[in-house]
Structure 1
Amino acid sequence: MKILLENNFNGLQHIGIPVTDIQRSITFYHRLGFTAVMEKTFPEGDGETTAIMMQRAGVIIELYQLPQSQLEEIANRRDGTVDHIAFSVTDIQAAFDEMKTAGEDIIETAPIHLDFWKNGCQYFAIRGPDGEKLEFNQIL
């Protein structure tokens, strides 16, 4: 069996958690020793999404609050709210091309650029065998 991304995988990048009250979540994670290392707000659908990257000892959690119209679905989840696990890669386009060639279920049609971090990042996600979302992310 061929190992995908064998030379293009740098480990866990972050765990994405949608939240219903970003300030309450920031306070909670601060109490656990996490520090906010990045914050961005951007338009999405009928409102704005705020994303905060919280870090402690090499672990990054992405807390994000979606527009008001989408919060009810998040609040009503019963088995937790982890949305995705993101892995760090060195070359996002090579990772995308490799996943496409391997026939993986890629969610995006191309890597997406976000104005996160100092110089931005690019990502794309695939679906695992049980529908789990696995994101591949390159910080630029």
Structure 2
Amino acid sequence: MYYKLKAITSLRSLDIKINAIQHIGIPVTDLKRSKTFYERLGFANVMQATFDEKGEPGTCVMMKRDNMIMELYELPESGLNEIRSRSNGHIDHVAFDVEDIEVAYNSIKEAGFNIIEPEPVFLQFWERGCKYFNITGPDGERLEFNQIL
């Protein structure tokens, strides 16, 4: 059986320096339980911060082991039903580490990808913060481009 692929963007490769997968984001329903689970696998909590989710505070923890980072985040109570109702897994996004978020954003925009945010978003994560933006892939998967400042 043959499938016809629909052209989504230009076939040329973008000139963006992607260093590696930066982290994998997982929404969790019990942050304490999830932290303990990943600690048992040898991960350590290297960053914890709150974020705003529709006017309510959520909590994000970055768990690191060697060069792997798992982002565990707990939404406020009002957002937990969405997480609990998922039946096909809980990986929310894959994040790519980029050297220059503005260059990456402009290149992605110029190439015609579907960008979710109108501009790179700053978060007070890590020591000096980070900036990120997301695109959606052909099956709706979310790919994040992230620069730790």
Q: TM-score category by the smaller chain?
A: over 0.9
Q: How do residues 1-140 of structure 1 correspond to structure 2 at under 5 angstroms? A: 1-4=11-14, 6-140=15-149
- Ranges of 4+ aligned residues in structure 1 off by more than 4 Å: none
What TM-score results when the alignment is normalised by the length of structure 2?
0.90
Structure number with bigger Rg: 2
RMSD, aligned α-carbons = 1.0
Q: Which consecutive residues of structure 2, in runs of 5 or more, have no partner in the other structure?
A: 1-10
Look up the SS of the partner of 2:72 in the other structure.
strand
**Aligned partner letter, 1:78:** S
What TM-score results when the alignment is normalised by the length of structure 1?
0.96
Query: Offset of 1:2 from its aligned partner?
Result: 1.6
What is the count of residue pairs matched by the alignment? 139
Query: Offset of 1:87 from its aligned partner?
Result: 0.1
CA distance in 2, matches of 1:8, 1:96: 12
CA distance in 1, matches of 2:110, 2:59: 34
CA distance in 2, matches of 1:9, 1:46: 33
Listed one character per residue, the Cα deviations across residues 97-122 of structure 1 (whole Å, up to 9, x for unaligned) are 00100000000000000011111100
**Aligned partner letter, 1:10:** N
CA distance in 1, matches of 2:71, 2:26: 6
Identity between Structure 1 and Structure 2 (%): 55
Query: Offset of 1:46 from its aligned partner?
Result: 4.2
